[in-house]
Amino acid sequence: MTSTASTEKPRLSAKEVFGKIFHNQLFIPLVALVLLVVFNLATDPGFFKVSLEPNSSGNLVLSGNLITMIDYASELVILAIGMTLVTSASGGQDISVGATIAIAGSTILRIVKTQSPDISGGQFAGMIIVSFLLCVFVSALFGAFNGALVAFFKIQPMVATLILFTAGRSIAAWINNNDNISINDKRFGYFGNFIPGIPVPTPVFITILCLIVIALVLKFTNLRLYSQSVGINASSSRLNGINPKMIKLLTFVILGICVAVCGFIKVSRTSSITYSVIANNIEMDAILAVALGGNSLGGGKFNLTASVIGAYVIQFLTTTLYKFKEIDSSSISAYKAVVVILLIIISSPFVRKLFDDFKNKREAAKAEALAGKENT
């Protein structure tokens, strides 16, 4: 937005440039990110120190708060991609993602647990691929279930996904007969931790891969245009030859695939699963990432970059809060809720309108004063 405007009118006053930046969608998440960085540097100058240290299995890996943050933000970023698309097309959010992650993880473990730990590398790779594909299939199916309820039965997305939100974790437990599974094969943990010899956590690579794939999809297909037009006005896009039902269904299936990837990373991190705890509260974070990115939660236009930055901000916030003395994991949500409400209030159209009104009034007053001077 800023760049095109500046090419048309090369000479902009500083005020106009500021106005353009202020109204850019990336403004709020980036400011939040900068604020968090400054705050952390002020309280602890060594916060961003990154060092190369051997981990528990003896490999040299990068460690430090920054690396941990980027590593753990992976699931959130991948989810934010799917959530942004769903939000854009259907004007609602999927609150069942946490529960479906549990289902996806449970599906993978169901297959992997049957294999003995001493199979060869090739066989292991084959098994991982098969289990992952099955997991993608299952998650996409659950996504399609949500999508069908939303698209064909016209149920509000949040309520349609309420069904899986209630039952999802139970289904996950049922897939594995409520057994506590832990995989002893070290190779299974590579995908959520480190591959020996590579100092960067694997989830970071998976995230980058996902981002590249979605960028290519948005570049070479009409997905962006179609989902935005469906989100803005479903009936007029139908008259223009787009099938809004299929688009809505498609976005939910894409979210399902994102969920499958997240589930895979999640179970690989710990090589085990706890049905009631895995990916707990992640739906809140994913929705907030979308909201923080300045995307309208009522559907329509979206900016994926802003959502991704929003996801990193949320994870950054979590890491920062964890560092704060003795906050335990369950009470962290209270602090987060307060911060997030404040952020949403600041970025809301209502406050922006107030700000604009204030500016207009001031300008009007100035113009009046000028007119008064001319008269005298």
Partner 1 sequence: MSINSNALGSNKLKKRASLTDTNLLLIITIAVFVVMYICAVVFLKKGFTKPQMFFNILNENASLLVLSCGMTLVMITGGIDISVGQVTSLVCMACAVHLEKNGGNVFTSILIALGIGLAFGIVQGFLVAYLEFQPFIVTLAGLFFAKGMTTIVCSDRVAVTFEPFVKLCRTEITVPFMGSVNKKGIYIPAYVEVGVIVALVVVILLFCLLRWTKLGRNFYAVGGNNQSANMLGINVKLTKFLAHVLCGLCAGIGGYLFFLHACSGSPLHAQGAEMNAIASSIIGGTLLSGGVGNIIGTLFGVLSLSTIKNIVTSLGLEDAWWTNITVGVMLCIFLLVQSVILARKNNKKK
| Footprint on this chain of partner 1 (rule: CB under 8 A) | 93, 149, 153-156, 158-160, 162-167, 169-171, 173-174, 178, 281, 284, 287, 291, 297-298, 328, 330-338, 340-341, 344-345, 348-350
Closest separation in Å from C-beta 333 to partner 1 = 4
User: Cβ closer to partner 1: 167 or 204?
Assistant: 167
User: Cβ closer to partner 1: 115 or 280?
Assistant: 280
* Rounded Cα–Cα distance for residues 307 and 88 (Å): 12
* Rounded Cα–Cα distance for residues 134 and 125 (Å): 14
Closest separation in Å from C-beta 316 to partner 1 = 18
Question: Closest by alpha carbon to 121, among 196, 55, 62, 60?
Answer: 196
| Residue 188 structure tokens | 């299974």
User: Cβ closer to partner 1: 171 or 218?
Assistant: 171
User: Cβ closer to partner 1: 67 or 83?
Assistant: 83
* Rounded Cα–Cα distance for residues 45 and 41 (Å): 5
Closest separation in Å from C-beta 214 to partner 1 = 24
Closest separation in Å from C-beta 38 to partner 1 = 25
User: Are 248 and 150 a contacting pair, CB within 8 Å?
Assistant: yes
* Rounded Cα–Cα distance for residues 170 and 178 (Å): 9
Closest separation in Å from C-beta 357 to partner 1 = 15
Question: 283: burial class by Cβ within 10 Å (0-12, 13-18, 19+)?
Answer: buried
Closest separation in Å from C-beta 70 to partner 1 = 24
Q: Kindly state the DSSP code that residue 201 receives in the 8-state scheme.
A: -
User: Cβ closer to partner 1: 230 or 284?
Assistant: 284
Closest separation in Å from C-beta 149 to partner 1 = 7
Closest separation in Å from C-beta 80 to partner 1 = 15
User: Cβ closer to partner 1: 189 or 256?
Assistant: 256
CA distances from 174 to 80, 111, 265 (A): 28, 14, 21
Q: Kindly state the DSSP code that residue 188 receives in the 8-state scheme.
A: G
User: Cβ closer to partner 1: 73 or 287?
Assistant: 287
What is the CB neighbour count within 10 angstroms for residue 344? Answer: 15
Closest separation in Å from C-beta 303 to partner 1 = 18
Amino acid at 110: R
Q: What are phi and psi of 42, to 5 degrees?
A: -70, -40
What stretch of H or E contains 9?
none
User: Cβ closer to partner 1: 159 or 216?
Assistant: 159
User: Are 191 and 268 a contacting pair, CB within 8 Å?
Assistant: yes
* Rounded Cα–Cα distance for residues 178 and 171 (Å): 9
Amino acid at 257: I
* Rounded Cα–Cα distance for residues 236 and 228 (Å): 12
What is the CB neighbour count within 10 angstroms for residue 171? Answer: 17
Closest separation in Å from C-beta 276 to partner 1 = 9
User: Cβ closer to partner 1: 201 or 336?
Assistant: 336
User: Cβ closer to partner 1: 83 or 265?
Assistant: 83
* Rounded Cα–Cα distance for residues 86 and 88 (Å): 5
